[in-house]
Structures are given as structure tokens and as C-alpha cells.
Structure 1
Amino acid sequence: MSHVRDSLESLKARIAGLERACAGESGGEPAGRARTGHAGIDAALGGGLMRARLHEIFAFEADDAGCATGFVAALALRLGGTLVWLREGEAEKRGGQLHAPGLVEIGLSPAQVILGTLPDALAVLRAAADVTRCGDVGVAVVELWRDPRAFDLTASRRLALAAEASGVTVIALRIAATPAPSAAQTRWQVAAAPSLPMEANAPGYPAWAIELLRQRGRPAGGAWRVEWNCEQACLAEALLVGGAGTGGAAALSGAVLPLSAGRPARAAALGFRRAG
């Protein structure tokens, strides 16, 4: 009976993955891809970010951890589904806890986010292997600090194969790390960019300078300055600060997703679920 039950669960996971991969067809998205909303980026990706694949996001510098976190949250929202965010303890110690109000500002619902903090990279990868095999998960974020030996080419290959089998999209968020060979479908580098103020000098949209470093099966390269349109929940071309039509406006704070460095992120108050 246990063998039959396991087979049924495996079949359900595969069906859920296929349904997610094809869900974009009715909404105008290419099958198996999630549009970012930015025409140039979507064209470079062949229609959008591939679902059921492993993607790598590198913070340009350690101080860019906050903006890279915001960019990952934005991609997770575009991909849809339940988000499981697994963090190495060192990443939380160095950069602070995830800022729950910032995730809400991006557009993520507390009901769809599960946070897990684990003691080291090996524990994160073991948990990620289990999460990635769960067809009910939409996106799994694997946040690692520096270049742990546990996350080598073999480990990335395991995650990539599990993602393809289950339909779960895996995003490896790399902080203070150096790009190395991996099985990732795409590799990105993200840095903070200034944002334009809104009316009454209110802080502007989150903005990033991003570069596509690598892409399997398609040309790599391409750099964009983008912002997150909170109303439409999509990436858009960012106007240059002080450029035409800006009136020489100076950049305001609030260009990146904030992190709380030494205090709880009020996750419980906002309804985020924490595991581990």
C-alpha cells in the first residue's frame, strides 16, 4: 500500500508541475515561462523566465544583499504559487531578517510565504531537495552566504533535475559569492539603482541594475536598469535619475527592499509562516 501511495503522490506532483508549466497559455504567456513585464528582458529570455528550472541571482556586492532579495521576491511573485524561502543562518546574521513589510510592498501575500532558517549550507540544501520535490510549491528560494563547498556542480545538478521533475522553480540567491559552474538555466547579477521620487517627494519604486551573465541554450549578455511597478506587479524600464523629464530630481531612499538588521521582521504579526 505504501508503494501505491508513493506512486500516487509522485503522479500528483508531476501533474501539478505540468499544470503550472502550461498555466501561462491562457494568460498570454508562453508555455513554461513567466513574463517579467519588461519587453527587453522577456525577449532575451525567449518569452520569459523558464519555470521548473534552477536560476541563480548574485548580489553584485555583499551590500547589495537587500536589493537582490527584493529582485528575487519580485521574480517569485511573477512565477506565482507558494513560496518557500530557505536561508542559511550566516546570511541572516550578516544581512538581517527578511523585512516582511517590504515583501508585502512587493506584492507577496503572507499566506503564500513560508520562511525557513537553517544552521548551515548543507542543511539548507537538504531542505531544498525535499521542498523541490513537493509539487504544491511554486517557488523555492535557496539563500546561501559566500561559496559553500556543499553547493557544487553536483548539488546544483540535483536541484535542477528535481525542479524539472516536479515543476517547482528554484532560485539560488547568492550573497558575497563568486559565480562558478552550475546547472542553472540563467545566472543574473543584481545591484542597487537610484529610484525617481514620486509626487510630494515620496520614495520611488524599487529599482535595480541587472545583468544576464549566462543562459543555457540562448545567447547570454544584456544589462538593464529596471524598476518594480508596484501597482501592476511587473518590471518596467527605469528612467534615469536627473534625465529628461525628471526635472533633475535626486534619488531617494527606498530604492531597494529594506532589511531589518537587528530586530524581528514582524513576520508573525503579518502572518508569515516560519519553519525551522
Structure 2
Amino acid sequence: MNHVVQIAEPSRADQIVALRAELARAQIARGPALAFGIAAVDDRLSDHGLDGAGLHEIAAARPSSSDDAAATLFAAGIAARFACQPGFSVLWALSKFDLYAPGLEQVGLGPDRIFYASGRKDSDVLALAEDALRDGALACVIAEVKAADQTATRRLQLAASDGKTPMLLYRRHRARDRCPLDQPSAAMTRWRIGCASSARLPYPGVGRARWSVELVRQRGGNPFFLECEACDDQGRLALPAPARDRAAAQVGAASQAA
């Protein structure tokens, strides 16, 4: 008489416990940190920059197209700096392609540095990102999703650690009056980005865009908030200069030009 032995599938609770154990082991080896080059930011980060083998989350401050654009360009600028060396590329995984390529290029992420991958739903996008991270051949991976539970973020953190590749998870399609960063996550840092008013110029024209940059949570450090000038063509942020310093710099530049 043959007996059929059934092997019980691990429960969701068991899977979470196993992932937590793997995540704890993964924290032993951390990747090099990417500094912002701004003391007011780097000095407040526990790694003095963004862990190059970790998961970092980004969300718009408000459910508006302008804040969505600011958060997108914030992520693109970080990715551009991770991919600053020749031959390094970025993967951007998403389910709805509405990226504006000239805007990405203005913050340093040109078409020669980026690949796109499309999935039908969030689970497909997360799977694409995880596979790309574990491959370890990319400078950075970005994924846009509406939702990702704690198990999904643990998997991404583990994959980032295994592949020594930074992961930027953009929690997009924010619902009104509900921030996606309120959900639990295994991310190393969590950022909320919005638009701020630009400084008035002493002549007609549009000044450099400004963003509100809020670090909502970080491992081993405290949250903070500051206002920055938007990314330049190399993906770098800057602190707004006082009006008198800005005027002096403009006078100096004019005298050199003469």
C-alpha cells in the first residue's frame, strides 16, 4: 500500500520570520554610501549618505502632478549619481509608462544610461526589480508601485544586499489624504518630496526649482526636513543661497565675463 506524504507549505508568519532572519544577516555587509555632498543632509544620515546596497523609498508630499514630478526627478537624480561612471546603467521598472525623457536627462539620467521594464501590475514590477537587483550588474534599480507590503520590501532589501545594488522604490499613485509611507517597510531610508516656492530673481525669469525634502524615517538615525534647490544636470541638490550671497555670485560671474 502506497502512502502519500504531504509536505505542508510554510505559513505566511513563518515566511516573515525567515525573511527577518535573512535580513538581519544581510545587514552585516553594507554597500558604500552615496553622499549628497551637502553637510546639512549627509551629517544627519546614519551612513553619511545612501547605502549602496539598500532599499530607499520615495513618495510625493501631496497627491499633485507637481509633487509627483519632484519625487520622480529626486529619484532620477540619485540614480544618475549612482550611475555616474561610464558603462553603468539604471533599470526603471513600472506598470504605466509616463516618464518624460527630456526631464530625466536634465537631472543627469540620459537615454544612454537607462533601461525600462514594464509589468502589468505591482507584483510584476516588484519581481522585475528583485531579479535585476540580484543580478548585480546595474548601477541602480528604480521601481514605481502603488503598494508594497512589508514582505515585499524585505525581499527587495535582501536582493539589494545580495546584488550590492541600490534600490529606489517610488510609492506612486498616492491616494488623497493618505501617504503611502504610513505603511510599514524594511527600507533603510524613506523620503517625502514636494515642490516649494522658488526665490524671486532680481531680473525677469524663472529661478531654479526648489523642493521640500523630508526624511521620514531612517535606520539608526532621526528624521529631518529641509528645503533644497532641485537637481542640476548631474543629479546634485543644493541648499538655497542667502540673497546677498546669490547677488555677490552674480556680480562676480558678470565681472569675469567682462
Relative to the length of structure 1, the TM-score reads: 0.68
> Identity rate of aligned residues, in percent?
33
Q: Deviations over 1:6-63 (max 9, x none)?
A: xxxxxxxxxxxx9x94xxxxxxxxxx11111211111111321111100001111121
Relative to the length of structure 2, the TM-score reads: 0.73
TM superposition shift of 1:196: 3.4
| 1:132 and 2:133 are equivalent in the alignment | yes
Query: Which residue does the alignment assign to 2:101?
Result: 100
TM superposition shift of 1:193: 1.3
Q: After the TM superposition, which of the residue ranges 102-111 and 224-233 deviates more from structure 2? A: 224-233
Question: 2 CA distance for matches of 1:185 and 1:178?
Answer: 16
Change (3 A) 1:159 1:229: closer
TM superposition shift of 1:119: 1.6
Q: Deviations over 1:143-174 (max 9, x none)?
A: 112xx3xx211111011001011111001111
Query: Which residue does the alignment assign to 1:15?
Result: none
TM superposition shift of 1:244: 6.2
Change (3 A) 1:172 1:232: closer
| 1:206 and 2:209 are equivalent in the alignment | yes
| 1:178 and 2:180 are equivalent in the alignment | yes
Question: 2 CA distance for matches of 1:123 and 1:232?
Answer: 31
CA contact (8 A) 1:196 1:239 kept: no
Query: Which residue does the alignment assign to 2:57?
Result: 56
Q: Which amino acid aligns with 1:169?
A: P
CA contact (8 A) 2:191 2:214 kept: yes
Computing the radius of gyration over CA atoms, which structure comes out larger, 1 or 2?
2
**Residue 211 of structure 2 aligns to a residue in which SS?**
strand
**Residue 43 of structure 2 aligns to a residue in which SS?**
helix
RMSD of the alignment, in Å? 2.4
**Residue 237 of structure 1 aligns to a residue in which SS?**
coil
| 1:86 and 2:89 are equivalent in the alignment | no
Question: 2 CA distance for matches of 1:101 and 1:198?
Answer: 25
CA contact (8 A) 1:58 1:188 kept: yes
- Structure 1: which 5+ residue stretches go unaligned? 1-17, 22-31, 248-276
Change (3 A) 1:231 1:51: same
**Residue 112 of structure 2 aligns to a residue in which SS?**
helix
TM superposition shift of 1:200: 5.4
**Residue 135 of structure 2 aligns to a residue in which SS?**
coil
CA contact (8 A) 2:108 2:234 kept: no
- Structure 2: which 5+ residue stretches go unaligned? 1-28, 248-258
Query: Which residue does the alignment assign to 2:251?
Result: none
Question: 1 CA distance for matches of 2:233 and 2:193?
Answer: 22
Matched positions, count: 206
CA contact (8 A) 1:36 1:78 kept: no
Change (3 A) 1:197 1:112: farther
